[in-house]
Amino acid sequence: MMRAASAAALALILAQPACASDQPPTTDTQHGMVRIVTVAEGLEHPWGMAFLPDGRALVTERPGRLRIVGADGKPGAPLEGVPAVSATGQGGLLDVQLDPDFAKNRFVYLSYAEPREGGNGTAVARGTLTERGLAGVQVIFRQDVTIDGRHHFGSRLVFDRKGRLFVTLGDRNSERARAQTLDSHIGKVVRIERDGKVPADNPFVGRADAKPEIWSYGHRNMQGAALHPVTGELWTNEHGPRGGDELNRTLAGLNYGWPKVTYGVEYSGKTISESPTAPGIEPPVHYWVPSIATSGMLFYTGSQFPKWNGNAFVGGLASQQLSRLEMDGNTVVREEVLLKGVLNQRVRDVEQGPDGYIYLLTDEDNGKLVRLEPAS
């Protein structure tokens, strides 16, 4: 589901790159030259973005700030009402998503590393966007295990076509074995109603040995998620260890293997699994060895890049790239690596603007919001 916005408003507001040079850099692709336009910079480790109906962009910064990138391309002052975050390691303020009925209710959803006694855990909060910030903020979901740690929080937010919210949750690194059990939220995708209640048609509802919020399990650390534009199914990408980043068609009730099977190895080089596949485990649609450090995901459906229609795009952190994946149904038939050696920044999020351009967030101390445009 594309985040709500007016294409005309976005074109007017973000048409002029506030911080770019007179001649933005270009890069060649299999389908022509692409221009890389800097829309905004000066963001501290931005993580997620969502376009508002007036064309402005809501952007999260991992230290705990939610800002609006305005007409001048400059990030506004931090908005009020954002929950306190545990900004340690990979934790902090993470994804942002608008309610499917945002035009009526103005609900904004945030995922973040929540500080707790004895550690932290991934949580989701919802508030009403006002001129000053978020009002009436309520926590609607909490990962049920508190860890004194800095790693593997997840967490992307995606609404399905029924208006239910998917939340991707990491294994917190130290609790990887629990990704294979159904008694916790560790290493899972969960699916909840907009107020946090459990949908009656979730796959494990009614099982005494399972958390009813769980949608799928056996995940390591999913930092990209999107709905397939044709089927409406959830797809996710997740970090492997050393090698074994995955793209998954993430279906109800299925086991995606971690840490029982993986295409990767420990950072020390030690073997994790003798085989990357096993009976009863859903194999990835695509995987990367070596790892590219996947984050952010988009199925392109716009008109600005007609030859890319239906392609999946996955950001790369350590690899500082954008992967374009050509699809034939549910199969990846070709991968093109974009921006490597050109952008030279970690790609954290990938979104399609309502103007049909592709927008990226770069995860750096001086992070940027950039736009990809056809150069012709």
Among residues 287, 275, 192, 193, which one has the least CA distance to residue 236? 287
Contact 198, 205 (CB under 8 A): yes
Q: In what order do the strands lie in the sheet with 46-51?
A: 46-51, 57-61, 65-69
Report DSSP state, residue 3: P
Task: Mark whether 31 is an active-site residue.
Answer: no
List, as one string, the DSSP characters of 272-284.
S-S-S--TT-PPP
- Which tokens sit at 138? 């309520």
Contact 189, 250 (CB under 8 A): yes
Report DSSP state, residue 5: -
Residue with tokens 């073997």: 271
Helix (H, G, I), strand (E, B) or coil at 179: helix
Give the whole-angstrom CA distance, residue 102 versus residue 121: 27
Dihedral, CA atoms, 101, 104, 105, 111, nearest 10 degrees?
30
Residue tagged active-site, from 152, 185, 219, 239: 152
Helix (H, G, I), strand (E, B) or coil at 306: helix
Q: How many helices (H) and strands (E) does the chain have?
A: 2, 24
Give the distance, in angstroms, between the CA of residue 142 and the centroid of all CA atoms in the same chain.
Answer: 18
Tell me which amino acid residue 119 is.
G
- Which tokens sit at 256? 């995606």
**Residues with catalytic roles:** 152
